[in-house]
Structure 1
């Protein structure tokens, strides 16, 4: 089965490589600056991995961002709707859960190419990708506690495994930014390269994966990702705690401080 991707609005999808076997997925920057995940963007970033998995013509996918960075995090309008509307919160919780498991369970290898800021839902897919490549000056940030909610998403399932518990707690609890160069040093990403080399390297890796033994590569991914499946209960707990926070007072202060471009003043 070959998938028609024309219905995607927030993702620019093209084919490249030998036999068009590499799917190039670019998160669009609607504001001309950074890709942000609004209602549609969050849903599409969740759904795309099911289509990649079902598409027999695809052997590898590359995920990248448009504009000044890889991803700018959740649109503040979406965050505000999640904080004020239970039905929206329940729907986005399911999408956030499915995003993580869809990337893990996608049988095709995924390569991410991260430049500039990498935050939010885009970062989820970027760090869960099988081969994650960052520009040395990329700025990786898990911004949950700055917003006033627990670091759910992908944080509990992948950060401790990649960079160890001590580093994970430091960066996740403090929302401390990690450069691409430092991310490679601590094991958070597979490779860090100069900005000009980012896409060429990502495409070269994707081409090698697309030209390799598909059963060998896909079954290797499946087996290795059992480490992540074992961490499923920790992830599910973290995600539930994150979304419980969206019903609390701190997230309102977090959103207000971001809109006002000031430090938050959490009351505890």
Structure 2
């Protein structure tokens, strides 16, 4: 029976397995996982906590819900629209999420099924090895709701899939299937849905059995490419928060909730 560790949210749970793999399990069966007000902060700090947990050698992040994660809950977005204090808090949490995953010495594997949007896409794509089902749907939906793509995209999309593809998908919010994401280099592997969990767990278990120092030092060295892009990330995150104070973000949320096209700039 895996050991569980307490977390300050219902958005996910954590199980520590005997083979050295810690599983971060998003959502509940039959429900689309989202990032709540408490969950946004909790997911940002779980990575260094697991890195310090005795016996943990790798991390697997997966979902038990209807998709991987649909991003920020409407309550979280409304708080950002209404309060500079909440925007500042979310900005700190978003920065910490990216920094914690980049700085975590343990290898992180993601198993992407269904929709991965916003913060969900950030966690999925910042993993060191990302495994998507062929039918997964990856989308950075920021510009669709009237804000800059700021929570992870500027730091990693151009490195993963090139500037031309990054600009196309981040500006248009055009979705990517897992198969297409693999083709352009946005994810490490794409496999049939029936093989997703087995494949991701096999990789996480293989990494857990590897040399901790060799893996940590390789990850630390490679992630200097991301650290070199850090000014672009900081800038995009600040601009996203500025946009959440504007009228386009309010219109974007209203259009989403009313299931209609947004009327920006009016």
Q: Normalising to structure 1: TM-score of the pair?
A: 0.95
Q: Which among 256, 263, 266 is matched to residue 265 of structure 1?
A: 263
SS in 1 for 2:97: helix
Checking the alignment, whether the CA contact within 8 Å between 1:17 and 1:207 is kept in structure 2 is no
Checking the alignment, whether the CA contact within 8 Å between 1:29 and 1:36 is kept in structure 2 is no
CA distance in 2 between partners of 1:38 and 1:73 (Å):
9
Deviation string, structure 1 residues 234-258 (Cα, Å, up to 9, x no partner): 0000000011000000000000011
Please name the residue that 2:109 is paired with.
Answer: 111
Q: How far 1:53 moved relative to its partner? A: 1.8
Greater mean alpha carbon deviation, residues 6-15 or residues 82-91: 6-15
Query: Any stretches of 5+ residues in structure 1 without a counterpart?
Result: none
Checking the alignment, whether the CA contact within 8 Å between 1:120 and 1:142 is kept in structure 2 is yes
SS in 1 for 2:92: helix
Give the root-mean-square deviation of aligned CA atoms. Answer: 1.4
Please name the residue that 2:7 is paired with.
Answer: 7
Number of positions where the alignment pairs a residue of Structure 1 with one of Structure 2: 263
Q: Which among 33, 39, 42 is matched to residue 41 of structure 1?
A: 39
CA distance in 2 between partners of 1:243 and 1:101 (Å):
18
Q: Which among 70, 73, 79 is matched to residue 81 of structure 1?
A: 79
Checking the alignment, whether the CA contact within 8 Å between 1:134 and 1:193 is kept in structure 2 is yes
Q: Which among 75, 90, 93 is matched to residue 91 of structure 2?
A: 93
Checking the alignment, whether the CA contact within 8 Å between 1:22 and 1:59 is kept in structure 2 is yes
CA distance in 1 between partners of 2:67 and 2:165 (Å):
24
Please name the residue that 2:231 is paired with.
Answer: 233
Deviation string, structure 1 residues 70-113 (Cα, Å, up to 9, x no partner): 00111111101101111111000000011000000011000000
Q: Normalising to structure 2: TM-score of the pair?
A: 0.96
